[in-house]
Structure 1
Amino acid sequence: MTNLSVKHSSIFRNVTPRADAEGANSQRLHEFIVNRLPKDGTPLADAARHHFAKPGKMLRAKMALSAAKLLKIDQAAALHWSTSIEVLHNASLIHDDICDGDKMRRGRVAVWAKYGRDVALTLGDWLIALSFELAAEAAQRANTPMLVKILAKHMATTTAGEAAEFSIQSSYSWDHYLRIAGDKTAPLLTAPLEGIAAMALHGDAAGAIGSYFRHLGEAYQIANDILNFRAGDGAADCGSDLARRAPNAVIVLYRERMEGGEALAFDKWCKAGSNDGLAFWLQKIMASDALTQSAGRMQGILDESIRCATEMPVELQTAIAPVQNLLEAICLQSVAGLDR
């Protein structure tokens, strides 16, 4: 039995942002977003302020600001662009919580659980409108009209990825699973840098940026899927994705090796929607090598993301380092103590 581990990428290992700069950017971004939220006395104001009371790490926005500074982009344009991505990301989180029934977000009650589904749905829609308004303002300031198109393209891909989650039967193919994982996770990581590159006239970097975040997003999703079966992704119960019939790398790799009657029985159970028999299938998955198979594939995809990163301009490599380091840490956490 050998202990699984995630290899850290040497090109990012020694790149750490200054804490004071990180704190200043966090405050600047948060204040800018709060000032653009619905005004007090309007129907969505309380729900919006509740959600953004804890804004999260704002990695996407900080990455855009860092790249803009390195590439000497107008800071006002960069601020509008970075917050447009962050606002759109938060809209997707609010809608995700409704779809998944998750009652907590960032250690607080989710918007839908506190204010109801209707308010949460309309707040998410309102934030999408704000995101495009901010992107249009960034485009005007930077004289880069294609920013709005970049935002629309990545929002469409994210939405399609979310919709594909609703059909677990189609996710038994590994390639199809990766499309769902990449479509869900990669677009709103790609968009911040793609927009900054467009402003800096580095349009030829879009391909490398997209490939890099596609692979990194896939690896991150696999890590979350492994953690779901180790009760480490915030889910209340181990294997909650199996109970919800949600696409999950561990489930897909377990299903791939099934044959004959066992495969038919599992498919029938999934289609039935009942959780009678959940403990049986969970035990079967945990006794298989699906977790270690998932870990191995995750490492391969991480390695490919590093190769893609080396094809970017050096300024962008510096900007992505905090995101890379954080997601690598999550991947490492997912396999800690997992043997093969």
Structure 2
Amino acid sequence: MNTSTDITHQAVERLMLDLIWVAMKPEHGDIPATVKAAQYHLEAGGQRVRAKLALHACQSLGISSADAVCIAAAAELLHNASLVHDDLQDDEKRRRGVPTVWSAFGKDVAICTGDILLSAAYGALSGVSNPQVIPLLLRRVHERTAMVIQGQCSELSAKDCAVTELSHYESIVIGKSGALLSLPIELAFIAAGRDEWTRSIQEAAHAFGVGYQMVDDLEDLQNDTDKKNLNIVIVFQTSGDGQHAHKLAQKFALQYLNRAIQLAEGLPDETGALLCEFALVLGKRLKTR
């Protein structure tokens, strides 16, 4: 990574933390538990895939570094808000090698932490320099957040009513994962005044999201089985393809990733190049299983 890119990524990290601290100023010298928990979660790391997608798309479209940082921070904050709430609902005790927020700080604090991360995403977009696009950016964030919530609700329902069809699995995953993978690139295009590419961006990101989730499912099968979580291998097993469930999951994962590459390559100004790279890496990981 070159120096300028490294500085930009550092600016994203700084902005995310600043938005939490500024919004929740400590009273009487005491740091609120929610601030501690949010900082704890963000500093635990992660790949920052959504921030990277946003920064790459913004750079490809000629958007200023300052605006790119705001967009990247918004996308990453939304994703992390969803993780905090997901861990609570899924009873996950560890993430990124450390205790999850609810496990470390309690369930009540985890709810508030997810909420402040979500709220901070809107705050990040207030820093975009062109006031004419801010309403459009806010609207898109709301739309994609609603998709995530719907996807999460559908997944929770699936614990009581088994998913047996690939199309049902796909619709849940697109809501839970695809929406927030598409969003950072969508926001970059909105900021550049090129929102007509939304459908193409969604198709590429959604295909990547489904492929990514299938790879993750293959690696987390035992944990998902124990907790009755949605998993593509279990979907195939439940539908009567138990003997070939693993091979089918690998086959479809690779198909979705290849589809993502094909679609991302069709995006203008090489804005989909990083998505292609991520899909290629996942495909190689899948083939070495």
Q: Highest relative contact order (Cα 8 Å, sep 6+), 1 or 2?
A: 1
Query: Which residue of structure 1 aligns with residue 235 of structure 2?
Result: 252
Give me the whole-angstrom Cα distance separating, in 1, the residues matched to 2:280 and 2:86.
24
Query: Which residue of structure 1 aligns with residue 169 of structure 2?
Result: 177
| Shift, 1:160, TM fit | 0.8
Q: Is the 8 A contact 2:174 2:206 kept in 1?
A: yes
Query: Which residue of structure 2 aligns with residue 82 of structure 1?
Result: 72
Residue type at the aligned position of 2:11: R
Q: Aligned to 2:109, which of 119, 125, 136?
A: 119
Give me the whole-angstrom Cα distance separating, in 1, the residues matched to 2:9 and 2:66.
15
Secondary structure of the residue that 1:223 maps to in structure 2? helix
Aligned residue pairs total 279
Give me the whole-angstrom Cα distance separating, in 2, the residues matched to 1:327 and 1:42.
41
> Which has the greater radius of gyration?
1
| Shift, 1:299, TM fit | 1.7
Query: Which residue of structure 1 aligns with residue 198 of structure 2?
Result: 206
Establish whether residue 193 from structure 1 lines up as the match of residue 185 from structure 2: yes
Establish whether residue 330 from structure 1 lines up as the match of residue 285 from structure 2: no
| Shift, 1:202, TM fit | 1.5
Please give the root-mean-square deviation of Cα atoms over the aligned residues, in Å: 1.9
Q: Deviations over 1:187-217 (max 9, x none)?
A: 1111111111111122221111000001000
Residue type at the aligned position of 1:29: V
| Shift, 1:327, TM fit | 4.3
Q: Is the 8 A contact 2:173 2:213 kept in 1?
A: yes
Q: Aligned to 1:226, which of 205, 212, 218?
A: 218
CA shift in 2, pair 1:334/1:101, >3 Å: farther
Runs of 4+ in 1 over 3 A off after TM superposition: 18-22
Q: Aligned to 1:61, which of 51, 57, 78?
A: 51
Residue type at the aligned position of 1:244: K
Query: Which residue of structure 1 aligns with residue 130 of structure 2?
Result: 141
Secondary structure of the residue that 1:165 maps to in structure 2? helix
Deviates more, 1:328-337 or 1:246-255: 328-337
Give me the whole-angstrom Cα distance separating, in 1, the residues matched to 2:82 and 2:11.
22
Give me the whole-angstrom Cα distance separating, in 1, the residues matched to 2:256 and 2:35.
42
Residue type at the aligned position of 2:19: R
Query: Which residue of structure 2 aligns with residue 304 of structure 1?
Result: 259
Bigger fraction of residues in helix: 2
**Structure 2 unaligned spans of 5+:** none
For normalisation by structure 2, the TM-score amounts to: 0.89
Q: Is the 8 A contact 1:60 1:82 kept in 2?
A: yes
For normalisation by structure 1, the TM-score amounts to: 0.77
Q: Is the 8 A contact 1:135 1:151 kept in 2?
A: no
Q: Deviations over 1:217-251 (max 9, x none)?
A: 0001111111123xxxxxxxxx2212222221111
Q: Aligned to 2:91, which of 78, 101, 112?
A: 101
Give me the whole-angstrom Cα distance separating, in 2, the residues matched to 1:201 and 1:136.
17
Deviates more, 1:42-51 or 1:199-208: 42-51
Identity fraction in percent: 26
Secondary structure of the residue that 2:20 maps to in structure 1? coil
Secondary structure of the residue that 2:127 maps to in structure 1? helix
Give me the whole-angstrom Cα distance separating, in 1, the residues matched to 2:127 and 2:2.
29
CA shift in 2, pair 1:57/1:182, >3 Å: same
Query: Which residue of structure 2 aligns with residue 49 of structure 1?
Result: 39
| Shift, 1:19, TM fit | 4.7
Q: Deviations over 1:137-188 (max 9, x none)?
A: 32x6352020001100110001111111112325211110111111111111
Query: Which residue of structure 2 aligns with residue 240 of structure 1?
Result: 223
**Structure 1 unaligned spans of 5+:** 1-17, 230-238, 259-284
Q: Deviations over 1:267-299 (max 9, x none)?
A: xxxxxxxxxxxxxxxxxx5xx211001111112
Residue type at the aligned position of 1:37: I
Secondary structure of the residue that 2:89 maps to in structure 1? helix
Q: Is the 8 A contact 1:190 1:213 kept in 2?
A: yes
Give me the whole-angstrom Cα distance separating, in 2, the residues matched to 1:34 and 1:74.
21
